């Protein structure tokens, strides 16, 4: 039995494992169980092994490997040498013999000799490094005569670097296709038309220039703008999918390429280019309109429409200003009856009031969709706060992550995200060949946020437009602390007092989970009956997916618990109200009160006078982190998804701030009610 490592350099994934009987295995852990059917799961249970009481399984058990490893091969490292094993079975396919090897892309993989296997990012390769490419049989197809190369070697073309540190491209016969005179060459696979972009910067202080080559390496056009990105317009209305149009940019102006042939020199504005692409653009009635939310946080309503179908996303209430709410805009077909022969549907990203608060204004006959657990939580909340909506809520259709929802000729795929509302979603909307990612509210610093970028890199491919929230872009200061950091601080605070009250939103399940797990061992975790019901909804639906949601030791407060709570200590979830005032009064001399919600409810941003009056009676400490992505995280989403045609901010009071992270060519600033044809 040998120790080994399994890698996917393209994703940055690494797992330690063992070699036994010619197979690679990885130690099994609780959170590594993809949703396999029983037959597949039984198969993998049969081939697991047990070493020192620990179960080890083939790499495919770890989910991401299975769909990210082309040819079913995963990088394998044994005693400093690299090869490959099968991701499903762990069988060694190409014995470790290289000093390093990259992931397979297509039929080929980059291999190196004369360099350390684990090279720090940004470090130069040693001077005696030699690189080449192998096929899936482990045979060298490009000899070890180059100093570096790109991971991707598709279509029998390979981007490699010579000893003069300049890049070129060779074919399977190792013949030069693009001369070795470029500082960078990048493959372009952003549409059905494939090609390459080469970058050169010959003079100090001068911006790089870029040159576009066809997929056979033939020069198309040079001296392109400051970016190698090419705009994919193959989905323009009226054009066949195989026409392969590309819009190019130089000095702020646009041109057009078709099948490797330059049709229009880059001399036009983007709007001037559109009539060339399709004179019947208006007839298609395919557009995006944000009815409300382009200049404000909350109260958002987005519509994506084709000639025969309309999808609405969220119908939120404005955040209050001076205790008042703005008038709801009339949206024909959604809040205002109109005769039209279109399929319609309203999708709800989550249950926060600024996204769902005007649900009662929806006209009858419009199907409404919501996450399954989110609907259960919202129903339980409405029993206390909006009983008049219970009939409407009961008829809401539900979905789960990755369910495909068809509304006329528009298809929607929900992606679960991390937010301060449980079971919240982004949506990929496909309308007439255009793919749009609507982010809803999300964050990367939450309990589950760390997996979001990988999820987007896999599912949010070939996206034309991102409609992205920007709640935090106008805020300054340090990035928000993670929920894990908040949990550590909560644990320290709880040590200072035996009796702790936490005021947080009853539906912020992840925040409650953080306090639940931070509560010192032996202390009670207490709440009222309603709050316990909310936690039980999540526990019953999700504890099998993560022990974080196993709220099995939560007590429903009653006076007969006081003696035990006094002796052993407790953490109790509270809200404003007389019931909680009476409980706090019993422990006011020995308690700590933690406020764990947005501080805007306590000041002029969105003051809640009732909440202010409640907290005015006590001393309290604020311990909170945002439910929304930071500016840096928003950029990571943009860089991961790489929208081909534009980035549209919403749910923000400072859309212009996005210019700090989004290139001008992609940033589209709309006004409320403005129709943008797509």
Confidence of residue 195 (pLDDT cuts 50, 70, 90): low
Percent of the chain with pLDDT over 70: 83
Q: Is the predicted pLDDT of residue 460 greater than 80, yes or no?
A: yes
Question: Of 286, 282, 305, 196, which is closest to residue 235 (Cα–Cα)?
Answer: 286
Q: Is the predicted pLDDT of residue 33 greater than 70, yes or no?
A: no
Q: What is the mean pLDDT of residues 45-62?
A: 76
- Residue 212 is predicted with a pLDDT of 81
The SS3 of residue 215 is coil
Contact 662, 642 (CB under 8 A): no
Q: What is the DSSP secondary-structure string of 562-628?
A: HHHHHHH-EEEEE-SSHHHHHHHHHTTTSEEEEE-S-GGGGSTTS--HHHHHHHTTS--EE----SS
Q: What is the mean pLDDT of residues 353-379?
A: 96
Q: Is the predicted pLDDT of residue 378 greater than 50, yes or no?
A: yes
Confidence of residue 8 (pLDDT cuts 50, 70, 90): confident
Least confidently predicted of 228-237, 297-306, 488-497: 228-237
- Residue 191 is predicted with a pLDDT of 42
pLDDT tens digit sequence for 642-664: 999 899 999 999 999 999 999 98
| Structure tokens that stand for 450 in this block | 């760390």
Which residue would you say has higher pLDDT here, 307 or 628? 628
Q: Sketch out the chain's domains with CATH numbers.
A: 1-98 (no CATH), 285-476+630-677 (3.60.15.10), 483-622 (3.40.50)
The CB density around residue 540, as the number of other CB atoms within 10 Å, is 13
Percent of the chain with pLDDT over 90: 57
Q: What is the mean pLDDT of residues 340-344?
A: 84
- Residue 67 is predicted with a pLDDT of 56
Backbone angles phi, psi at 289, to 5 degrees: -140, 130
pTM above 0.75, yes or no: no
Contacts of 651 (CB under 8 A, 6+ apart): 293, 296, 297, 298, 300, 441, 469, 470, 471
Contact 69, 87 (CB under 8 A): yes
Question: Of 81, 68, 64, which is closest to residue 4 (Cα–Cα)?
Answer: 81
pLDDT tens digit sequence for 603-642: 988 888 999 999 999 999 999 999 999 999 999 999 999 9
The SS3 of residue 109 is strand
* Mean of the per-residue pLDDT values of the chain: 85
Backbone angles phi, psi at 444, to 5 degrees: -105, -10
According to DSSP H, which parts of 368-482 are helical? Answer: 372-385, 390-394, 452-459
Q: Is the predicted pLDDT of residue 201 greater than 70, yes or no?
A: no
pLDDT tens digit sequence for 230-285: 444 444 444 444 445 667 778 878 777 766 667 677 877 766 666 555 544 344 45
């Amino acid at each position: 039995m040998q120790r080994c490592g399994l890698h996917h350099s393209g994703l940055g994934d690494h797992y330690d494992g063992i070699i036994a009987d010619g197979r690679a295995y990885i130690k099994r852990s609780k959170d590594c169980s993809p949703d396999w059917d029983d037959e597949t799961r039984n198969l993998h249970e049969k081939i697991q092994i047990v070493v020192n009481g620990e179960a080890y399984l083939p790499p495919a058990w770890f989910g991401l490997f299975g769909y990210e490893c082309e040819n079913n091969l995963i990088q394998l490292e044994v005693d400093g040498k690299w090869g490959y094993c099968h991701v499903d079975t762990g069988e060694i396919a190409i014995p470790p013999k290289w000093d390093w090897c990259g992931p397979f892309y297509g039929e080929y993989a980059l291999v190196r000799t004369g360099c350390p296997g684990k090279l720090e990012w940004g470090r130069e390769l040693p001077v005696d490094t030699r690189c080449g490419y192998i096929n899936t049989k482990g045979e060298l197809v490009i000899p070890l005569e180059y100093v570096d190369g790109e991971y991707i070697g598709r279509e029998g073309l390979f981007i490699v670097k010579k000893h003069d540190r300049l890049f070129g491209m060779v074919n399977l016969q190792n013949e030069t296709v693009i001369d070795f005179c470029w500082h960078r060459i990048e493959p372009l696979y952003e549409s059905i038309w494939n090609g390459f972009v080469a970058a050169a910067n010959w003079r100090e202080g001068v911006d790089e220039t870029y040159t576009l080559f066809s997929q056979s390496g033939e020069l198309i056009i040079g001296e392109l703008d400051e970016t190698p990105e090419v705009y994919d317009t193959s989905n323009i209305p009226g054009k066949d999918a195989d026409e392969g149009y590309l819009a190019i940019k130089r000095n702020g102006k646009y041109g057009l390429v078709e099948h490797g042939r330059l049709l229009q020199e880059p001399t036009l504005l983007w709007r001037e280019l559109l009539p060339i692409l399709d004179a019947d653009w208006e007839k298609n009635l395919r557009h995006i309109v944000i009815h409300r939310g382009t200049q404000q946080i909350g109260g958002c309503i987005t519509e994506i429409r084709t000639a025969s179908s309309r999808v609405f996303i969220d119908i939120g209430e404005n955040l209050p200003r001076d205790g008042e709410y703005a008038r709801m805009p009339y949206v024909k077909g959604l809040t205002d009856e109109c005769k039209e022969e279109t399929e319609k549907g309203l999708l709800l990203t989550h249950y926060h009031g600024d996204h769902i608060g005007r649900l009662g204004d929806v006209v009858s006959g419009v199907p409404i969709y919501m996450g399954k657990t989110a609907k259960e939580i919202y129903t339980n909340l409405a029993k206390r706060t909006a009983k008049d909506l219970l009939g409407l809520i009961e008829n809401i259709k539900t979905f789960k992550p990755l369910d495909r929802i068809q509304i006329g000729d528009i298809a929607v795929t929900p992606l679960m995200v991390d937010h301060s509302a449980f079971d919240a979603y982004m949506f990929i909307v496909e309308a007439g060949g255009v793919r749009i990612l609507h982010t809803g509210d999300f964050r990367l610093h939450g309990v589950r946020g760390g997996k979001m970028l990988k999820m987007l890199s896999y599912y949010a491919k070939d996206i034309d437009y991102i409609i992205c929230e920007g709640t935090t872009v106008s805020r300054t200061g340090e990035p928000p602390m993670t929920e894990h950091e908040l949990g550590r601080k909560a644990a320290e605070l709880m040590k200072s007092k035996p009796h702790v009250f936490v005021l947080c939103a009853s539906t912020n399940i992840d925040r409650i989970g953080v306090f639940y797990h931070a509560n010192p061992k032996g202390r009670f975790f207490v709440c009222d009956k309603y709050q316990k019901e909310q936690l039980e909804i999540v526990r019953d639906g999700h504890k099998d997916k993560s022990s974080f949601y196993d709220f099995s030791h939560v007590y429903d407060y009653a006076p007969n618990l006081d003696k035990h709570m006094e002796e052993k200590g407790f953490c109790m979830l509270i809200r404003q109200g007389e019931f909680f005032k009476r409980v706090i009064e019993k422990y006011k001399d020995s308690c700590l009160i933690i406020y764990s919600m947005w501080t805007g409810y306590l000041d002029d941003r969105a003051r809640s006078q009732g909440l202010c009056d409640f907290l005015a009676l006590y001393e309290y400490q604020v311990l909170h982190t945002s439910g929304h992505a930071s500016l840096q995280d928003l950029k990571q989403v943009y860089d991961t998804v790489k929208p081909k045609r534009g980035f549209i901010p919403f749910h923000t009071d400072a859309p212009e701030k996005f210019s700090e992270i989004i290139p001008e060519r992609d940033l589209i600033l709309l006004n409320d009610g403005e129709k943008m044809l797509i």
